[in-house]
Every structure is written in structure tokens, then in C-alpha cells.
Amino acid sequence: MSTVTMSNTRPIKTSRQKRPHNPNWREDFYRNGRPDEKEVIVISDSPTPPLSSTRQRPAQMEAARGMKRNRRTPLLSSNKSAQMLHQQASASAHKRRRRGEYRDHSHYNDTAYRSYISTSSHASGRYREPISTRESRSSAASSRQAIPSYDDKDGHYIVKIGDELGNKYQITHLLGQGTFGKVVQCWDRVSNRHVAIKIIRAVQKYRDASKIEIRVLNTLRDRDPANVHKCIHLREWFDYRNHICMVFDLYGSSLFDFLKHNDFNPLPMNQIQHVARQLLHSVAFLHSLRLVHTDLKPENILLVNDQCRTVPSRRSPGKSRRILLDTDIRLIDFGSATFDDEYHSSVVSTRHYRAPEVILGLGWSYACDLWSIGCILVELFTGEALFQTHENLEHLAMMEHVLGRIPERIVRQMCRPNQLKYFRGSRLLNYPNDDTTKQSRKYVKSLHTLEEVIEPRRSTFREQFYDLLQRLLLYDPEERISARDALRHPFFYMTFDEEDIRLSEVIGWSVTRSGCETFHSAFGAEYGICRNLVLTDNGLCFTFHCVRYINGINDLF
């Protein structure tokens, strides 16, 4: 006989006491009789969702919903049905199902199975996204890799010779590249001619700038259909693979490239005169439209035809130099052009050709183009840039060394911070100072004055050229000569007669059967000997040109 011990503590409830009473199978479940041996009971909450659902959900949510929607009860035979139903009823009281409850996955659809595997991996402490999601991401990545890239990392179009550009152009040659993009030579299959196409970088700020340039170019073409003023005309433009493409006529090299390939030998004086006249005509036309170019430089002046002839060089005995056969030009690159009544950025122009009012922060207008022209003409005369620097204070010091001191009235117009930055008081430039390098001091000190460079006393031509440069390179933009007035300068009315030729220095000349003029000239030990300078094609025309060259012997060789 067992003994029961009583105590003040409450009896501990066991898990068996928590379980519900066993169901009455006969009265509750089998009121209508037992099922047949082959009868099957299937419990399903909702139909399986379609696999092609376009709405994306987080992987964990998909896994949980897939388990709920796609779980099905395995087939039950009659002799095991009571036992399995009892297990399901008792398991529903638990808050969480055991992970190993369903082992047979053969009757699940594929989506439920994959979601179940994902949930199991996450529960084990290491998340693994559903296989279907990984496969879709993998296919998307492979599709992105399959799309060819037309740009490099900087947004430049990748040029391939022979590729099509637009509907009718085929790339034949890469002409050049800059910060704006690339210029290519293309064959136009419609007009059967070569053209130049400027391909703008696929960067928004350059696309915006190109649209401003297109507006300016359209204005120039509408106001000068015959292109009397020698500004380049836009044939058409189109947007191709996110690149603005502007189509132009194909011309020769730029003045800078010609100087570079000519070992930076200067142009003959008469060719400087012709280029200067054309350039001033173009700029005067722009200014009449209330437009400032702001980026005049030899790189932006194209030669229509860069064919040339070769003559002995006066700088390097035994070497030769090139003389252009045609000096017709076209002014290009209106990407920085600004209408006078529109917003003016604080800094314009390429460094070597930048006007002093821009450096000093005094504002700028049409006169900054005339300063740039003055710098260009000196460069054509010497073969080298007048102000080769990359720093403001050194640039101002070079100006003062070449052109004289900056007027005090210009300094007084500056704002106080710029005055303190560049000047001591209101007169003296703050150069050199403690930060000035020895190389900078030496270079600035080695510069020649403008008068020493041009040597105006050597000829009337040089004298007039020097006077024009002085008017173009005035510090005060209000006093600087305008493009229209510059075209009226005596420099452009000078011609060379046979009386000006130093006949004593010409040994002789003869006319060949082909009609070419052959000069046999000796200019002394200082200039070397010119051996059989043959002028082909139009002999009379070239003879006249040669006569003009000889007006200053060192101007020819």
C-alpha cells in the first residue's frame, strides 16, 4: 500500500497533465462510419501560388509563405490514419514545429521545397537566399555582361575604325581627343565625302555645353550662310548612344599642329598678315552678334588646306622648314562662347592667352578676345607662346616684364582681397616674394620685351606690326583696340614692291621650261645658302610671294 506525503508546496505539473484528453474517435470522428481502406484524407490551406509571380518579396517572407501555402499532408492509408491524425492534433498545441517533422519531400512542389531548404539554412544560423532568387540574379548579371559597353570609364566613346556612327557615317580615322570628347574622320555614304564628327563625352555637363555650342553654331550659320566670315559651320547633329555628335566639313590641321610639326618655326610675315586679317574678320563678326568667343588660341584655328612646300631652315643649318601653300582658316570650338548679356563665368580662356582683367577679377567682355589675338600673332611670329606659365602671379610678372608695369588705375579697380594677393600697396606687383622659386625668377628675368622680340626698326612692316600688337595688348580693356578698328590699321594695307627687294643679295634667277621660278640666292654666312628653291604649280604667283618673303631676309629663312 503506497503512502502519500502531503506538503505545503504545490504539486509540479508534468507535461502529461498539459496534454489534452485523448479524442473520442468513434463519437467525434467516425460518426458516419470508418473510411474505406483506399480513402485518403488531404488537408490543404490554399492553392499553390503561380511560379511566374512578378512581385518580389524578401527571401525570408517567401520562405515562410511557401511553407504555409505549399505544405501538404502525405498520403495516409486506413491502418495509419488514426495515428497520424492524432500526431497532428497533438502537435498543433506546440508554439513551434520541429524542423524535421516532414522528411519526405517527394510530394511537394519545387517552390515549396526550395523555400523549406532556405528556411532550414537560416534557422541553423547561416542565411542562404532561395535558389530561385540566386538563379534570377545570376541570369540578370549575365545579361548585363552580355550588353556591350560603348564608353570608357571617363565617358569617352570608344572609337573603333570601321564602326558605324549613326545611320550614314563610318569611322575612318581618329583626329584628336580633348576634355570635351573626341573628333573622328568619317565617310558620309550619302554625300560620298569625308566629314569630321565631334563626339561629346557621355557626361551631363558636357552634353549641356554641347547644346549651347549647337545654338551658337546655328546662329552663325543663319547669319552668314555663305560663310564669308570663316567661322566653321555645323552640317547637322544627332544623339547616338547617349553621345551628342556634331558633323562638320573636314579641314586641315590646326595652326598649333602645323607649328608643332614644323619644329615651331615661325610663319612668314605675309602669312601672319593674312591669318591676322581673317581672324579679326571672324571675331568682328562674332562681336557684332554680341558674342564673345573666350577661347581663341592656335588650336582653335584650322587651316582649310595644310599642304606646304619645304625650304631650308635659317634656324638649323642642314634642316628644312615648311611654308604653307594656302593660309585660309576657319575658326572653331564655340563651346565656351558666351553672349554678352548672359552669365559670365569668372575665369575664361586658356592660360597662355588669358587677358589681365580675367586674372585680376575685373570682369571681362569683347576685349578679352583681342588680347588673345595679340598673343596668337606674337606666337606666329616667334613660333613660341608669349606667356608660358600656369600660375597667376608669375603670369602677371611676365606681362610686366614684356609689356611694362600694370597701370595704377587698373590696380585700384580690383577688390581688396585681390589687391593684397597680387600687389604691395597700389603700385608694385608682389613678385618675387618668399614663395617664388629660383627657376621662376630666372625664367621671368630671361624674357625679352615686346620691342626686343619684334625689332620694329628693322623694317616698316615690323614697325606697323609692333604698333598693332601694342594696341592689342593694352592692359586696360576699355582702351584696347576693337576688332573693327584693328582691321583698319596700316599693317593690313602694306604691300611689297620690287623696289623693296634687296637685289644686291639676289645672285640670279631663271625660268625653267615648266614655267617654274627657280631662285639661286645667297644671304651671307648668317643665313646660310638657299639651294635651288623651286616654286611649283603657279610660278608667277609664287614668285610674288617669294618677293614678299625676301623683304626681310630672315623672314624667309
CA distance 407 to 475: 8
β-partners of residue 498 are: none
> Is the Cβ–Cβ distance between 407 and 475 less than 8 Å?
yes
> Is the Cβ–Cβ distance between 501 and 301 less than 8 Å?
no
Going by C-alpha positions, the residue among 472, 523, 470, 518 that lies closest to residue 314 is 523
CA distance 381 to 520: 26
Q: Which residues are annotated as a binding site for ATP?
A: 198
SS3 347: coil
C-alpha cell of 226?
555663305
Contacts of 480 (CB under 8 A, 6+ apart): 367, 370, 371, 471, 472, 473, 474
Which residue type, as a one-letter code, is found at position 524? G
Q: What is the CA radius of gyration of the chain?
A: 44
Cβ-based neighbour number of residue 241 at 10 Å? 12
Going by C-alpha positions, the residue among 204, 212, 194, 188 that lies closest to residue 243 is 204
* 485 catalytically annotated: no
List 110, 263, 295, 341, catalytic entry = 295
C-alpha cell of 298?
592656335
CA distance 66 to 49: 9
Q: Which residues are annotated as a binding site?
A: 198
Residue 3, class by beta-carbon neighbours within 10 Å (0-12 exposed, 13-18 middle, 19+ buried)? exposed
> Is the Cβ–Cβ distance between 157 and 163 less than 8 Å?
no
Give me the active site residues, please. 295
